[in-house]
A and B are shown apart, each in its own frame.
Chain A
Amino acid sequence: MSQQLPDIDLYQKVVHEQDAQALRHLYQKYEKLIYSFSYKMTQDQEVAEEAIQEVFLKLWKKHAPYDESKGKFSSWLLTMTRNTCLDALRKRNRHETVEYIEKDTLRVTEETPADILEWKEKGSAIQECISALKDEQQNIVQLFYFHGYTQQAISKETDTPLGTIKGRIRLALKHLKACLKGKGGDEE
């Protein structure tokens, strides 16, 4: 892959010129991140694959227009991925109860792609900050943010009264923000 245009320029080519090559560049850059994030959310290789397909199809079909007022392209892409995964989880949860089990066939690697430097940087910072939370807060953040549980489901899963879930999330978010700030993260 040769040195390529900035994300926003590639995106413009995709939507204005229907440039499939530009889409492929974006795909190649973000495949591993989007797939890994989708897998973290859905804990299911098949659903993660479906989600990444959906994300790039939406991009191609301009179902989710992006402009720079929405922040960084990568953040927007990740938010779209998360929403797509949540839709997939909702669809699946209507039919079955899901248990999150690590699959042994999964190929976990240590490598983050060289052209997404922030994955390594932000990844270790956020992981450290999450680990620094109390166990109960970590658990709730996992269920709420990464698995998209409803408040009701979190309450049931963690045996916590419904009314206290929000307070715990709020506290966990404050801790995460403060911790990241301490690490010189660029979040506002």
Chain B
Amino acid sequence: MTQQCDRVLDYYNGHLNEIEKAAFEKHLSECDDCQEILADLHSLEDTLPYAAEPVEPPEGLEDRVFARIEAEDHPHSAKAAPLRPAKKKRQWMMPSVAALLAVSLFGNAYLFTQLSDDADIVEQATIDQVLQYAELAPSAGDASGTASIIEQGSEKRLVVQASNLTALSQEEVYQVWLLQDGQPERAGTFVIDNEGRGSVIFTLNEEYAERDWDTVAVSLEPDANSETPQGEIVLASEI
């Protein structure tokens, strides 16, 4: 079993983003274990929904459903106007992560502040392949972020973007760490804009690219020179 196997339930429930989904599907084609659990689920799809207890639909539901269909068919008629907001509400799609990453890559040009010696700035928004992706969980507060390891040509880069971060005082920075078996290594430094957002792209050198990182974390550091985390971890995830 691999780490991908742990995604089978979230895959079935449609919780994976496009990148995670593609990675999982690749895995699925080779994993009997995951295929079996999905086959079991599919075989029950014809029965499980009938466990729903009968509930009377609200009055006038049919009229409302068909009025909406009518409105969608004639979007320019005056009658349809009040239904417009409902139409807008239908857009439940998650923003594509690829798009977010692209924004992150562009945004990086000005949000980027300082990286370790191994790093440099990526200016193009082409992503050849996302190797790993993780949503970063806050240790406190409502900060959020994502981390991806992407492969561009022969190079691997770690892309971290975060938002809702607490404002920094003068020397303070946010430091990204890659961890393997609890040992942290510096993997990019960033400051944030006045809305609490920041991102950084860190190019993995040959040694780092080969290593089997298990965790990515972001900590708030007193300055940009910490060799090990001195401040508190604000975001972290397994990767």
- With CB as the reference atom, state the residue of chain A lying closest to B135: A152
Q: Find chain A residues with CB under 8 A from B8 CB.
A: 166
Contact A166 B45 (CB under 8 A): no
Asked if A62 is at the interface of the complex by the 8 Å CB criterion, the answer is no
Contact A53 B65 (CB under 8 A): yes
Number of A interface residues, CB 8 Å? 74
Within 8 A of B (CB), among A97-111: 106-111
Contact B58 A126 (CB under 8 A): no
Asked if B37 is at the interface of the complex by the 8 Å CB criterion, the answer is yes
**How far, in angstroms, from A81 to B90 measured CA to CA in the complex?**
14
Contact with B along A36-71 (1 / 0, CB 8 A): 110110000100011011101100110000000001
Contact with A along B62-94 (1 / 0, CB 8 A): 101110110011000000000000100110101
Contact A109 B56 (CB under 8 A): yes
**A185 touches which one: B47, B57, B73, B90 (CB < 8 A)?**
B47
Asked if B194 is at the interface of the complex by the 8 Å CB criterion, the answer is no
**How far, in angstroms, from A150 to B6 measured CA to CA in the complex?**
11
**How far, in angstroms, from A162 to B69 measured CA to CA in the complex?**
42
Contact A166 B6 (CB under 8 A): yes
Interface of A (DSSP majority class): helix
Q: Find chain A residues with CB under 8 A from B46 CB.
A: 71-72, 75, 78, 122, 186-187
**A126 touches which one: B5, B10, B47, B90 (CB < 8 A)?**
B47
Given contacts A130-B51, A150-B9, 20 further A-B contacts (CB under 8 A): A33-B49, A35-B61, A40-B55, A60-B73, A82-B49, A87-B14, A90-B92, A91-B92, A107-B55, A111-B54, A118-B50, A119-B54, A151-B6, A151-B9, A166-B5, A166-B8, A173-B37, A176-B48, A177-B40, A177-B44
Binding site for B on A (CB under 8 A): 20, 23-24, 27-28, 31-33, 35-37, 39-40, 45, 49-50, 52-54, 56-57, 60-61, 71-72, 75, 78-79, 81-83, 86-88, 90-91, 106-112, 118-119, 122-123, 125-127, 130, 144-146, 148-151, 154, 162-163, 165-166, 169-170, 173-174, 176-177, 180, 185-188
If A83-B14, A151-B9 touch, whether A88 touches B43 (CB-CB below 8 Å) is no
Contact A53 B58 (CB under 8 A): no
Number of residue pairs across A and B with beta carbons under 8 Å? Answer: 156
Q: Find chain B residues with CB under 8 A from A174 CB.
A: 40
| Size bracket of the B interface | 35 or more
Contact A75 B45 (CB under 8 A): yes
Contact A126 B13 (CB under 8 A): no
Contact B69 A57 (CB under 8 A): yes
**How far, in angstroms, from A173 to B37 measured CA to CA in the complex?**
8
Q: Find chain A residues with CB under 8 A from B5 CB.
A: 166
Give the Cβ gap from A130 to chain B, nearest Cβ, in Å. Answer: 6
- With CB as the reference atom, state the residue of chain B lying closest to A128: B51
**A24 touches which one: B43, B52, B66, B73 (CB < 8 A)?**
B66
Q: Find chain A residues with CB under 8 A from B62 CB.
A: 24, 27-28, 31
Q: Find chain B residues with CB under 8 A from A90 CB.
A: 14-15, 92, 94
Q: Find chain A residues with CB under 8 A from B40 CB.
A: 170, 173-174, 177
- Most A CB contacts (10 A, CB to CB) among B6, B8, B37, B47 go to B47
Q: Find chain B residues with CB under 8 A from A37 CB.
A: 49, 52
